[in-house]
Structure 1
Amino acid sequence: MAFTGTLQKCKACDKTVYVVDLLSADGVPYHKSCFRCSHCKGTLALSNYCSMEGVLYCKPHFEQLFKETGSYNKSFQSPSKSAEKQPALTRAPSRVQSMFSGTQDKCATCNKTAYPLEKVTVEGQSYHKSCFKCSHGGCSLTPSTYAALDGILYCKPHFSQLFKEKGSYNHLIKCASIKRS
C-alpha cells in the first residue's frame, strides 16, 4: 500500500502539509517551519503562541501589541509606515499601559530604576532596599527605623547621637548641603 499523502494545505505557505511536518493550531494546519510570529518571524510552539483573527504572534509580541494599542484588535504598524502616517505623540501612558510597562521610579540614592520588588518608598522618594542606608554609619534602614533631615537619611540611633554631640541639628543641615553639592 503506497502513502498517498494529505490534502491539507499550510495556512502560511499554501503548500501540502505531510503528516510528519504537520502542526495544527486551532484546527488550522501549518508546516512546523511555517508556524512563526507574524511580527518577529520567530519560530513558535504550541506552548508559546497567540493568535488574533488568524494572525500568529509570539506571546511577548502579542502582549506588546496590547500595550501599544490598548486593544488586541489592532495590528502592529511597520516602523517606516507609522513614522510617515503618524506624528510623534507625547502623552502620558494610560493606566492600563502603565500597569504593564514597569516602573519609572528612580532610586533617590543611585538614580537607577527602582523596580517594585526591590523598592522602598518613604516621604515620596523611592530607594532600592540596598541603597536605603544611614548616611552616617551605612546601617541598613527600614521605613520604621529611619530618620531624615533635609533629604539625608539616618538610622534613629545615629540621628540621636549626632544631635547629642552638638545639641542641635544645625551641623547636620550644613553637612547635608555639602554632600548634595
Structure 2
Amino acid sequence: MAFSGSQQKCIACEKTVYIAEMISTNGVVYHNTCFRCNHCNGKLALSNYSTLDGVLYCKPHFEQILKEKGGASLKHSTSLGKQNELNRSPSKVSALFSGTQDKCAACKKTVYPLEK
C-alpha cells in the first residue's frame, strides 16, 4: 500500500504538501523549505516570523518594512498571536494523539475513550 499525500498545496510553490514536510499557520500550508522570508529568503520557524498582507517576513525585516510604511493602517499578524491557533480545528495528525473532542456534560473536560 503506497502512502498518498494530502490534497493540500503549498501556497508558495503550489505543489502537494506531505504531512512530514508541512508547516501550517493561520490556515495556510507551506513546505518546510518554502517557509522563508520574502525579503532575505532566510528560513523561518513558527516562533520567528511575521506576515504583512499575507507575505512572510523574518522579525528584523518585518520591523524594517513596518517602519518604512508607517505601520498604523497595515494588516499584519505575528507568530506571537496565539488566538488564531486556539480557535482553529486540530490537524489530522494531532487528532490521532489527542483523544476525542467529546466533553463531559458536567465538568466540560475532555472525555477520553477509556472513560466512556
TM-score norm. by structure 1 comes to: 0.39
Distance 2:70 2:35 in 1: 26
Look up the equivalent residue of 1:7 and give its one-letter code.
Q
Q: Which residue of 1 aligns with 2:6?
A: 6
Aligned residues with identical type, % of pairs: 62
Distance 1:46 1:3 in 2: 27
Is the radius of gyration larger for structure 1 or structure 2?
Answer: 1
Task: Give the structure, 1 or 2, with the largest relative contact order (CA under 8 Å, sep 6 or more).
Answer: 2
Q: Which residue of 2 aligns with 1:31?
A: 31
Distance 2:19 2:40 in 1: 27
Distance 1:9 1:46 in 2: 19
Output one character per residue of 1:125-181: Cα deviation in whole Å (capped at 9) or x when no partner.
Answer: xxxxxxxxxxxxxxxxxxxxxxxxxxxxxxxxxxxxxxxxxxxxxxxxxxxxxxxxx
Instruction: Say how many residue pairs are matched.
Output: 74
> What residue ranges of structure 1 are gaps of 5+ in the alignment?
75-181
Q: Secondary structure at the match of 1:62?
A: helix
Distance 1:5 1:38 in 2: 27
Distance 1:25 1:15 in 2: 17
Distance 2:66 2:29 in 1: 26
Residue 2 of structure 1 deviates from its aligned partner by: 3.0
Distance 2:66 2:16 in 1: 34
> What residue ranges of structure 2 are gaps of 5+ in the alignment?
76-116
TM-score norm. by structure 2 comes to: 0.59
Residue 42 of structure 1 deviates from its aligned partner by: 0.5
Residue 52 of structure 1 deviates from its aligned partner by: 1.6
Q: How does 1:151-166 map to 2 (within 5 A)?
A: none
Q: Which residue of 2 aligns with 1:121?
A: none
List, as ranges, runs of 4+ consecutive aligned residues in structure 1 with deviation greater than 2 Å: none
Distance 1:20 1:26 in 2: 18
Q: Which residue of 1 aligns with 2:16?
A: 16
